[in-house]
Amino acid sequence: MSLSRQQFTLLGIFALFMGPVLLVILMRSSWWQYQPGGMKNHGHLVQPAVNLNLQQSAGMDNKWLLLYVLEQPCDQVCIESVTALRQIHRAAGRNAEHLAIALLSETPIDPELKTRLESVYPEFNFVMDSSHMALTKLAAVNTQVPVDTAGPNDIHTYVLDPRHNVILAYGVNASPSDLHQDLKRLLKWSDQENRH
């Protein structure tokens, strides 16, 4: 009886000291795919961040930006994409006041198209890039995105910080819910930073 108790005690001591070692070995093995939830983003992280220096409008001051590169004519896919951005903005809830949507165009927007887009969402900010500087910088950003994610011409949506640095890029097939989740994390993080 006492021998069994001694064996149990020895096993307990062994597990106490070897358990953490075995756990470290397990976590370092190639099949353990642990990734902290706070580090995972769905969009392509732009590193280093690229500053677009966009022309400011009152609706964009010191706000996170959802930027969409608007092609003209704006086909049905384009309309669906900007409608999804409207939904993301609305879903931001109380954080919506820290977020703005900018539609970037290299030429003046056709008045009929502008009216149609404003009927989708009156809070869109229209930005014209007549110098092509912003679009040139975005073309350079697009070359960073892995080929399996999207082709350079398939990237239309970006997330910019309040200083207009591009930090995330999304392919045309990106899910609006993925974009919403990334923004939710960024806005929550930004809100916590502003409190400190």
What would you measure as the largest C-alpha separation in the chain, in angstroms?
92
Q: What's the one-letter identity of residue 194?
A: N
Instruction: Tell me the mean pLDDT in the region 91-103.
Output: 91
The residue with greater pLDDT, 178 or 32, is 178
Structure tokens at 162: 């309040």
Place 22 in a pLDDT band, splitting at 50, 70 and 90.
confident
Instruction: Tell me the mean pLDDT in the region 30-52.
Output: 71
Asked whether the beta carbons of 115 and 130 are under 8 A apart, the reply is no
pLDDT beyond 60 at 149: no
Instruction: Tell me the mean pLDDT in the region 52-69.
Output: 84
pLDDT beyond 80 at 191: no
Structure tokens at 92: 């931001």
Burial of 185 (0-12, 13-18, 19+ CB in 10 A): middle
Structure tokens at 190: 């930004």
DSSP notation for 128-184: E-TT-HHHHHHHHHHTTS-TTT--GGGEEEEEE-TT-EEEEEEETT--HHHHHHHHH
Q: Which of 3-12, 57-66, 130-139 has the highest mean pLDDT?
A: 130-139
Instruction: Tell me the mean pLDDT in the region 144-167.
Output: 77
Instruction: Tell me the mean pLDDT in the region 61-84.
Output: 90
Asked whether the beta carbons of 125 and 59 are under 8 A apart, the reply is yes
pLDDT beyond 70 at 2: no
Closest to 63 in 3D by CA, of 174, 183, 196: 183
Confidence at residue 41, expressed as pLDDT on a 0 to 100 scale = 81
- What percent of the chain has pLDDT above 90? 35
Beta strand 64-69 pairing with 155-160:
antiparallel
Instruction: Tell me the mean pLDDT in the region 44-55.
Output: 87
pLDDT beyond 90 at 190: no
